[in-house]
Amino acid sequence: MSYLLSIVMPAYNEQDCIEKVVYNWTDFLKNKFPNDKTTLIVINDGSKDKTRELLDKLIPKISNLTVIHQKNGGHGNAVVNGYRKALEVGSEYVFQTDSDDQFVSSDFDKLWEKRNQSQFILGYRQVRHDAGVRLFITSFLRGTISMIYGTYIMDSNIPFRLIKGTFLQKLMNQLPDPEPFAPNIFLSVMAKKSGQQLFDIPITHKDRETGTVSIVKWNLWKVCIRSFNELLRFRLELNRKVKAIRA
């Protein structure tokens, strides 16, 4: 039996909130879809704290929880592996969010009610509570995408997105190789260029109360230059990939 909906959630060093977030989303799934098969897929990206231990304790307690432990490959790699798992179990819809407790599950409905109008729907952090470095990178990427691709996406890398499973498979087939630093950006660009209405729906974004921001470990300019170069190279392949997606 395939799943109506799988939620993909990467996690790295979130021991202070992972139990709360897991219960929040698994309870949400049970209440929202009591008669449908759903699951929360948590990808533990090589956490160095007690995240793994806590997740393993939750597995026998929560029937709609799927946990994957992997070596640290970065947020983007964890997201991609989560998508692959969601597709492997035959998910009709795939929703992606983060494990840092900065989003509210009630905002899911804003995207879900649009599912028959688009196969790829994004949220948008209208009021964003993040460190300045993250805000700068988001602004930089928004301008870069607009300049290179001639398209404007409010929050192309947002971890609050709903995707039709069959469409996600087409996107994943066209994801650049080697795997980009922020694959969600490329999925967003391909989705919009292939004709999907992304909607850019305003959602709630809370202050981060626990954990650490992993991007701080990266030099700001290193992140920007790498992302710019990846997006620039992908421009040469985009038309061919969009044709494949439309086909």
Q: Quote the pTM value.
A: 0.93
CA neighbor of 100 nearest in space, from 204, 212, 6: 212
For the beta sheet containing 160-164, the strands, ordered from the edge strand earlier in sequence to the opposite edge, are 65-70, 38-45, 5-11, 93-97, 160-164, 120-125, 201-203
Q: What is the pLDDT along the chain (247 residues), one digit of tens a residue?
A: 699 999 999 999 999 999 999 999 999 999 999 999 999 999 999 999 999 999 999 999 999 999 999 999 999 999 999 999 999 999 999 999 999 999 999 999 999 999 999 999 999 988 765 666 667 777 888 899 999 999 999 999 999 999 999 999 999 999 999 999 999 999 999 999 999 999 999 999 998 777 655 555 557 678 788 888 999 999 999 999 999 999 9
Residue 135 domain boundaries: 5-246
Quick one: pLDDT at residue 130? 62
Longest dimension (CA), the chain: 49
Backbone torsions φ then ψ of 60, nearest 5 degrees? -70, -15
Which two three-digit tokens encode residue 210? 């626990």
Bridge-based pairing state of the strands 160-164 and 93-97? antiparallel
| pLDDT, position 223 | 79
pLDDT at 70: 98
Pairing of strands 38-45, 5-11: parallel
Q: How do strand 38-45 and strand 65-70 relate by DSSP bridges? A: parallel
Q: How many domains does the chain have?
A: 1
Cross-strand partners of 201 = 123
Quote the pLDDT of residue 211. Answer: 60
Nearest residue to 22 (alpha-carbon basis) of 46, 57, 70, 69: 57
> Residue 1's pLDDT is what?
60
Rounded distance between C-alpha atoms, residue 83 and residue 124, angstroms: 20
CA distances from 44 to 41, 134, 222 (A): 10, 22, 25
Measure the N-to-C terminal CA separation of the chain; round to a whole number of Å: 27
CATH of the domain at 48: 3.90.550.10
